Chain A
Amino acid sequence: MNQKNCMNLKNSMNLKKKISQYDRMAQDDRMDENLKYNAWLNAVKTNQPMLSDPEGLMRNIMSDIQSAQVKKSSKKIEKIWKMVASASAVAAMFLLCLFVYEIDLHPNSELNTAVSTDQFDDSALKQRFAAFSDECSNNKESSVKLKKCILKRWQEQREVQAQKKMQLLEKRYSYN
């Protein structure tokens, strides 16, 4: 209780001391409105607020900015990851579209046409096969020899097709 009383007493003394200059000026009956205003303003200006525990405030600020910096850099990384993910998604979509375009929508490219025409030219194949068969059967060889003959001609045909394909590819790359 004594301590509290003492504190209150100190409070009131300090308060009186602090605004005594302002009080003296303000209590003057002759003081006009402007002077009152100026006196008050002057008191506000001259009494600077005092920062208690400035070092504590400094410590808090520094610890706050360090944690804010960690958050900031993690946000940056997150942002970069998002950008990479978006770019990957766009690239994947582009490749998918290109794939669909090449396979389904536009299969008649120069190479495909040449290969597919050659592959599915049934009449030509049939004629050739008939020719091989006649040739082989005319020789009146055994069935094993006949098979070997047909296989040999088929392999020759495959080689011719592979050569054609290579020529087409070379042609295409030489244009590019």
Chain B
Amino acid sequence: MIHEEQIKTIIQRCRKNDYSAFALLVEQHRDMIFRLVFRMICDEEEAKDITQDVFVKIWLSLDSYNGDYRFSTWIYRIACNACYDFLRSQRHIRASSFVDLSDSDVKLSSGEDIEQVLDNKALVELILRYTEELTPKQKMVFMLRDVEELEVKEVQEITGLSAEKIKSNLYQARKQIRLKMEKDGEVVV
């Protein structure tokens, strides 16, 4: 992982339209952003598209990055905003379009690793099993705090929510997940 000082140097180069410097930033943060977006969106193709959009937004707004936050916090913020917008727009569609993996065929394009695709599908099922009914805000806070294990302060910086709101959203999210578990009786399908 690149040190924060090195990142600042790379950002300076990016501001002078150095594409190779930006490629370095993408290389370093691509997987981290993809993982977050994937867990929030639960759709591999959409996650790829959003990750792509996030990096374009990062490139376009690099001038506004003033170093107040860590760079990773700043890009998490951009990614979370993109995911939040997507979840809000797709919330109702998502509820109706989710299909049980066991009943569906897995479509693969050439060159894709079948095991990798199935792993991702399994993970989507695992996440959606209990988080499908969470609101976008609850999901975002839950993913950042419990899954990514970020500090409350960092979650505050990323989401722009107050500590109280983060706590209440997190409480609601955990409660809803537990309720869903209770309803299902057993955790495993």
Contact = CB atoms under 8 A, between A and B. Distances in A.
Q: Which one of A33, A39, A41, A49 has the highest number of Cβ atoms from chain B below 10 Å of its Cβ? A: A49
Interface string B82-126: 000000000000000000011001100001111111111111011
B156 interface: no
B1 interface: no
Interface of A is mostly: helix
Contact of A19 (B51, B55, B122, B174): B122
Interface string A62-74: 1011101100100
Contacts, number: 132
A40 B38 contact: no
Query: Interface range on chain B: under 10, 10 to 19, 20 to 34, or 35 or more?
Result: 35 or more
B126 A61 contact: no
A109 B22 CA distance: 65
A81 interface: no
Contact of B147 (A18, A19, A41, A58): A41
Query: Interface range on chain A: under 10, 10 to 19, 20 to 34, or 35 or more?
Result: 35 or more
A36 B60 contact: no
Contacts of B60: 65, 68, 72
Q: Which one of B44, B55, B188 has the highest number of Cβ atoms from chain A below 10 Å of its Cβ? A: B188
A23 B188 contact: yes
A123 interface: no
Interface stretch (B27-35, B73-81, B163-171): B27-35
B178 A62 contact: no
A37 to B, nearest CB: 6
Contacts of B101: 11, 15
B127 interface: yes
B118 A15 contact: yes
Interface stretch (B2-10, B64-72, B179-187): B179-187
A120 to B, nearest CB: 65
23 contacts: A11-B121, A12-B102, A18-B122, A19-B122, A19-B188, A22-B187, A26-B188, A33-B182, A37-B177, A41-B146, A44-B39, A44-B123, A49-B38, A49-B44, A49-B119, A50-B119, A51-B31, A51-B34, A61-B26, A61-B30, A66-B19, A68-B60, A69-B17
Interface of A: 4, 7-8, 10-12, 14-15, 18-19, 22-23, 26-27, 33, 36-37, 39-41, 43-45, 47-54, 57-58, 60-62, 64-66, 68-69, 72
Interface of B: 17, 19, 22-23, 26-27, 30-31, 34-35, 38-39, 44, 47-48, 51-52, 55-56, 59-60, 101-102, 105-106, 111-123, 125-127, 129-130, 146-147, 149, 174, 177-178, 181-182, 186-188
